[in-house]
Structure 1
Amino acid sequence: MKVIEELENQFSKIAAILGDKSRSIILWNLLDGRAYTATELAASANISLQSASNHLKKMTSANLLTVEKQGRHRYFKLANNEVAQVIESMASLISIDKDYKKIKSPQLNDFTYARTCYDHLAGKLGVKLTTSLLDNEIIKISGKEYAVTEFGEEWFHKIGVDIHSIQQKKRSFAHQCLDWSERKHHIAGALGASLLELMIEKDWIRKKANSREVFITSTGKIELKNRLNLEI
């Protein structure tokens, strides 16, 4: 009984932290996977530095954020991929109407089309890429996870992704992440992060300055067409 009460107390504590408007804005802005100072996060939430510092202290104590000191500055970022997944999943409630019956799709724009979700690709492009990987039997669904097929291992090897090395990392290999704008899953975890890193390195996609938005290059369109028969 005491164990259940403790779990309920911990859950209520986390829910209260996530429920604050200023803290939720800070968490949303940290979804780009980068670290920011308290001053930068205060500006993003339109609150005072003192208020931001109090919020950051609470989130750090709750293990939602980590902080790293470099020189005179302290930089805050999301504690791990699991926290990012929770924040992104919460956004799927944004477009529910007042009767909680019909879900409205957010209007398509540059942000909903292609963006990063912590350390992996999201938006319409992220979902289309994941769907194409499934259709080409490069990956397959296994519960709430994705598994790479035998053919998929060869495919990833050809583009420069070492599946065996990724599997050794101490984190989720590849799991379903519900895309808040598409209402479908895109691929997250170590494999999703490696795909995003490779696509940026090979100039298939480029990040927009000071934004989570990304855009696909002409090279990227050609490569995705040739390798996955994916029209962008």
Structure 2
Amino acid sequence: MNFVKPEYDSQPDDSLEKSMSLVASAISDPSRVSILCALMDGRAWTATELSAVAGIAASTTSGHLARLLSNGLVICLTQGRHRYYSLASHHIAGLLENLMGVAMNAHTSPAPSTPLHLRYARTCYDHLAGEVAVKIYTFMLQEKWLESDGTALTPAGKSHFQNMGAVLNPHSRRKSCCPCLDWSQRRFHLGGDAGSALLTLLLQKGWITRTQGYREVNVTESGRIAINRLFSMNLT
């Protein structure tokens, strides 16, 4: 397996302002936004799959992917004759999530236009987002699983994660945990390594299932019971 490394459009002596404008320009096309949103589920997609979700021709998709790759927004993994695309990092996912929040706030109508199933539960790259995730985060703060600013697990929080079976990475280069602004709920859900560990646990236990090709996740009946028990919730 080989990664295709991005070759940035900007030259080393370019100003920060120009570099920022190039990234913003790469995101500005609706088709490229559709591609990036699809990749927000944290999985790798083929160009054919991305062309279908964006509703554009394969040849057009190739051009869009080249633009995203050159600006460091996606990476490409080659495996044999196949190429798979994914977001370049969780930082890019955070950028997109924040941009979604800004876009939602730009609307004059206060009524949320996000589909109900996505507002309820979805993936945000490698962690859980939506109403369920926001309620879990609120519970963790109230029960002091998290430090007051949400940037670290408390000793009690680490113990609860261990008891649940959520495996934390002690050598992770990313933050152990962090508050991630949920663009549909306008409140925080759990990000960082702890958020990733929680999503992995929920999937492994079969408490949530993914909808193929979408960010939506479904809470199973056993998951509803387990989440209600673990986080003192009342999912119906």
- Alpha-carbon offset, residue 96 of structure 1: 3.6
Give the whole-Å Cα distance in 1 for the aligned partners of 2:20 and 2:77: 26
Identity %: 35
**Per-residue CA shift, 1:165-191, capped at 9, x if unaligned?**
x23112222112111110111111111
1:22 aligns with 2:31: yes
Aligned-partner SS, 1:167? coil
Amino acid in structure 1 at the alignment position of 2:69: T
Match of residue 162 from structure 2: 157
Map of 1:78-97 to 2, 5 A cutoff? Answer: 78-96=87-105
Amino acid in structure 2 at the alignment position of 1:117: C
- Match of residue 81, structure 2, among 56, 65, 72: 72
**CA 1:190–1:33: 2 relative to 1, 3 Å:** same
Native 8 Å contact 1:204 1:220 kept in 2: yes
Map of 1:40-189 to 2, 5 A cutoff? Answer: 40-96=49-105, 103-106=110-113, 109-142=116-149, 145-163=150-168, 166-189=169-192
Match of residue 3 from structure 2: none
Native 8 Å contact 1:97 1:103 kept in 2: no
Compare 118-127 and 108-117 and name the one that shifted more: 108-117
Give the whole-Å Cα distance in 1 for the aligned partners of 2:45 and 2:122: 19
Give the whole-Å Cα distance in 1 for the aligned partners of 2:25 and 2:142: 41
1:231 aligns with 2:234: yes
1:199 aligns with 2:202: yes
Native 8 Å contact 2:166 2:200 kept in 1: no
Aligned-partner SS, 1:58? helix
- Alpha-carbon offset, residue 13 of structure 1: 0.6
Native 8 Å contact 1:172 1:189 kept in 2: yes
Aligned-partner SS, 1:187? strand
Give the whole-Å Cα distance in 2 for the aligned partners of 1:224 and 1:35: 28
Structure with greater proportional helix content: 1
Q: Number of aligned pairs? A: 224
- Alpha-carbon offset, residue 218 of structure 1: 2.4
Match of residue 221 from structure 1: 224
Amino acid in structure 2 at the alignment position of 1:68: L
1:211 aligns with 2:218: no
Match of residue 5 from structure 2: none
Map of 1:8-19 to 2, 5 A cutoff? Answer: 8-19=17-28
TM-score (norm 1): 0.88
TM-score (norm 2): 0.87
